[in-house]
Amino acid sequence: MFNRFAEKPNISECLHFIHLLLGFLGYWIMYPVLVGIAFEVMALYFNDFNRPELPAFAFFIAIWMITMVRYWQRVQVKKFIISFLKCLLCFL
């Protein structure tokens, strides 16, 4: 049985995990931002927001999302799952 009063984690561990997560998301968000700006410029240039390229952008976003989540699971979660669980205990 889990004893929630056994050991309280340090708040710095929680902040460390949050910092790593935000850094990871900040790095990975660059790709859809750049592609999205390119699609927006094309839509503004042609003055048509129902462009046939939009399904390609949606497909790119879906592939990007799957790739990002899988990479996070493979690399980061193995290292920091214990920190995350301790972080959750901070707020219980």
Domain assignments of the chain as residue spans, ordered by start: 11-90
Alpha carbon distance 88, 92 (integer Å) = 7
The residue with greater pLDDT, 75 or 4, is 75
- What would the pLDDT profile of 22-34 be if each residue is shown by its tens digit? 888 889 999 999 9
Which residue, 66, 72, 70, is CA-closest to 32? Answer: 66
Q: Where are the beta strands (DSSP E) in the chain?
A: none
Residue with tokens 């193995």: 78
The residue with greater pLDDT, 6 or 24, is 24
Question: Cβ–Cβ contacts within 10 Å for residue 48, how many?
Answer: 10
Examine the pLDDT at 1 and tell me if it is beyond 50. Answer: no
Alpha carbon distance 5, 10 (integer Å) = 14
What one-letter code names the amino acid at 32? P
Report pTM. Answer: 0.65
